[in-house]
Amino acid sequence: MNRPDTIRLATLPTPFEPLSRLADALGRTGPAPSIWMKRDDCTGFAGGGNKARKLEYLVADALKHGADTLVTLGAIQSNHARQTAAAAARHGLGCVLLLTDSVTNRSEAYRTNGNWLLDRIFGAQVRLLAAGEDSSAVAAETLTALSAQGRTPYLIPVGGSNALGSLAYRDAFLELAAQAESQNCTLDRIVLPTGSGGTHAGILAGVEAAGLPCRVHGISVSRPSEQAQAIVSGLVRDMAALEGRQHSKATEPAIDDSQIGPGYGQPTAAMVEAVELVARTEGILLDPVYTGKAMAGLISRVRSGAFAPGETVIFWHTGGAPGLFAYPEAFIG
């Protein structure tokens, strides 16, 4: 099996550390498991985050195909768009971001600060799409227009979540497994945010590759669990097909959709509590769209007794802290 080409963007391995003060705080209301964090907020590239790992595969493929412009899609405060813009700048490529104004009732900061501001600083060309506009059609039109101008565009899907990008998180799980072994830490459960699905799918593939009995719990930030499960399962199959290997009939992805609240990117009281609790016990910043809601899901499960006190639960921090600056009203009450 040939390994796809990669470039280097992220500073790896990212830290793996215990959250003992958070566990103590949650233990005041009942027995809490041991809680650790895999810190992909510390990938070090363009403000950090999980997309740096995926872009190592995706930008390498773009360069292999002679691309001179990266095109991708997302919401206005997309962490993926920010890191794609930076990766394009790092390699002297053009970058077109197709960002949908899909999150309603936000303050002016949502459209001027956070990732939006950083996209501009990295030099990306940003096209704003209205809510409900067909982003796939706009992407196709954009690729055609760029080609007509004599450019060679390369389309990266939302979140970098295709089979190629997802491979990065199989690698990442194997990185975590080695760190856990060196620290005599068992990997009983992993909790992570599930959005476009590539990170979740890659971690599932990593668990299978490592042969470990680790259970992976996705906390959906945007879709009902059935839809999210279908996306993650499809990506796991696509990864196997990409590498020409047999897809095993693995357990259906476990995804909890109870933390979505009013919708993608919409704050919830549980998210605010989670962000503030982790900041005030561990000095670590989560984000309001992904990791804040995923941590709210972890906290809810600890409080309900879903995790046994003797278990070790790993929270996979996928980054996104620049998004906090787009949500000041959620934290200033």
Q: Active-site residue numbers?
A: 78
Amino acid letter for position 92: G
Amino acid letter for position 295: M
Q: In whole angstroms, what separates CA 256 from the centre of its chain? A: 16
Element (H, E) at 99: strand 94-101
Residue with tokens 């704050």: 267
Q: In whole angstroms, what separates CA 75 from the centre of its chain? A: 13
Q: What is the number of alpha carbons within 13 Å of residue 144 lying toward its C-beta?
A: 6
Nearest Cα to Cα of residue 206 among 234, 181, 228, 239: 239
Long-range contacts (CB closer than 8 Å, 24 or more residues apart) made by 301-310: 301/191, 301/217, 302/26, 302/30, 302/32, 302/33, 302/35, 303/26, 303/29, 303/30, 305/30, 305/31, 307/32, 307/33, 307/189, 308/33, 309/31, 309/32, 309/33, 310/33
- Phi, psi at 147, each rounded to 5°: -60, -40
Whole-angstrom distance, CA of residue 260 vs CA of residue 169: 23
Q: Count the neighbouring beta carbons within 10 Å of the beta carbon of residue 310.
A: 10
